Structure 1
């Protein structure tokens, strides 16, 4: 066999540019992953560092559980579009069809043993699977706007709330320094202090908070936010009710309500006007913006998250169908990245047998991973 065949020389010469291009692409991908992970810039804020801060803020790591909103229940049902959203987005679920979902109702905090009566923030997450094979994941909260405007401020807020090992409570000096550095947080603090607490998940409004883009079949783009507004009448808890509330009263109330009938929330989309901020979730849009009710979320059943469909779902808010895009809000991208890290850590806990429940610790059914 000849060592070099002259007939192969032209092919070899033509192949080199392609091989070089492939090498550059692979190298670029590797650099991108290195940058994202923080390997190339050790001082940069990464999803891993942010998740570490959340774990520290929890006081301890609860293996096998979500690092945030650890306590919750799985729910199932469907979204029923009413056709009003078709003019705004080409997403299939806005048509007059029923789209099934696997969802989760939860409370804020990193402890799966948290007390419902002390949880200021409540949440709803949905994974909707439309009949065209596309998926939409939503993660919504009971607060109407975010506490801070930037990712770095969000990280600093998390660090400021980390318990001091000596006292088991956050350091007041660090919290005061955070408030001085981020005066926009005063609006959120005022909401947390003055807004009434609902008596149930069923009569709580859940807000998307971050801005998104809807694109219709013609290619028209609108900046939007949305909320799930309950059809159940709102009722406020008194201070006495909160003090006396059972630690699991939200899940107990949910089961009692579902035994009587399904629960419903209307999806109300708010349309931005030119100049409304889309990159700052701490800035609410004016109340006079147009609102369009595009369909209804219907919860039919609930199961403990230990064996429910929601346990192994990462409710990444950037898993979106055609007709919906993320906005320029940097906190939206940060949430997506941190959710991924948290998901990978708890799934590793479960797969490796390190989850708390796998080593003999017992939690109420609705509080398991």
Structure 2
């Protein structure tokens, strides 16, 4: 019997699909109540995702459609003075990752989402680093509570019978004006034509710790060597143009991104993912991510990896962004649901 695509990964008015898709990059459903006080529980968040996208056993509750990738990260040593993490020492580390789109339906058309995501597991002798990045540098909301409200608004808009009739989303936007920054960024940056020519951002801030214990707040991104081109209307006729395009591109050779770390200055916010830092902040090229191969997610090497953003090596620490703890805690419940579905499927129940 074939295996379910079980995995531990959960990324006028704002478009419903945009909000629902990007929201999932941050809500991975764990029991948040005990950890985060009065905030929504993981079960509640997952149930709300399923209400928007439907139930698809064995698949991620969001970013359900994706592809596994493998390759390596070549560190140039430029970040070694800032962090004692072995991943930043000059040298090569093996990588297993996943490229995906937002949304909880694994059969949806690639054109249904204008956000792409890249998750990585980078393994070194001194530990491993997992990071989940999105093709937008900011998030619509800054707290798990607001995220929960956004999912409810997305469901109401999804259920609207009249085009443009989104009272729930309109009400959400009035109470969360910060979401307009995300909307404007998407308007100004059309989605890329492929997985390979998109930049991907950490969105949340993190801290690099050096050998003396000094900390530096940072964000990171990976910038593609392939030139960005916007999505063409003709591409959307192919439901799976992103995976096909990546496979075709890899037949020409490996795909490369440069990892860039941005250093915060005193006063830069680290607890609000809806805000970018000023463009004049110091940026350091710390190495090259190289993807050599892609494989279907149903039995590929990324299938059962948890891309928990707080799975960090010594030398990298979380910031005070409230979404980070919620995301990390959420993986346990997400894992439990999918594992249960996998076991039931294997047992023929």
- With the shorter chain as reference, the TM-score category is 0.7 to 0.9
Whether 1:156 aligns to 2:149 is yes
Partner residue of 1:236? 230
Select which of 266, 276, 286 maps to 1:284: 276
Whether 1:322 aligns to 2:317 is no
Asked if the contact 1:318/1:336 (under 8 Å) is kept, the reply is: yes
Q: Kindly tell me the number of residue pairs found equivalent between the two proteins.
A: 319
> How far, CA to CA, are the matches of 2:36 and 2:252 in structure 1?
56
> How far, CA to CA, are the matches of 1:161 and 1:260 in structure 2?
40
Cα deviation digits, residues 6-55 of structure 1 (max 9, x gap): xxxxxxxxxxxxxxxxxxxxxxxxxxxxx956489997512221222122
RMSD of aligned Cα (Å): 2.4
Asked if the contact 1:199/1:235 (under 8 Å) is kept, the reply is: yes
Partner residue of 1:219? 213
1:273 and 1:117, CA in 2 relative to 1: closer, same or farther beyond 3 A? Answer: same
1:258 and 1:243, CA in 2 relative to 1: closer, same or farther beyond 3 A? Answer: closer
Cα deviation digits, residues 322-363 of structure 1 (max 9, x gap): 0000110001111112233222211221122189xx89xxxx
Asked if the contact 1:91/1:321 (under 8 Å) is kept, the reply is: yes
Report the secondary structure of 1:161's partner residue: helix
> How far, CA to CA, are the matches of 2:36 and 2:138 in structure 1?
32
Partner residue of 1:351? 343
Please give the TM-score of this superposition, normalised by the length of structure 2: 0.86
Segments of 5+ residues of structure 2 without an aligned counterpart are 1-29
Partner residue of 1:247? 239
Report the secondary structure of 1:127's partner residue: strand
Partner residue of 2:26? none
Partner residue of 1:258? 250
Q: CA deviation at 1:192?
A: 2.2
Moved more, 339-348 or 265-274: 339-348
Q: CA deviation at 1:74?
A: 0.5
Report the secondary structure of 2:221's partner residue: strand
Cα deviation digits, residues 37-96 of structure 1 (max 9, x gap): 6489997512221222122121x1100000010000000011110010101111111111
Q: CA deviation at 1:117?
A: 1.9
Q: CA deviation at 1:170?
A: 9.5
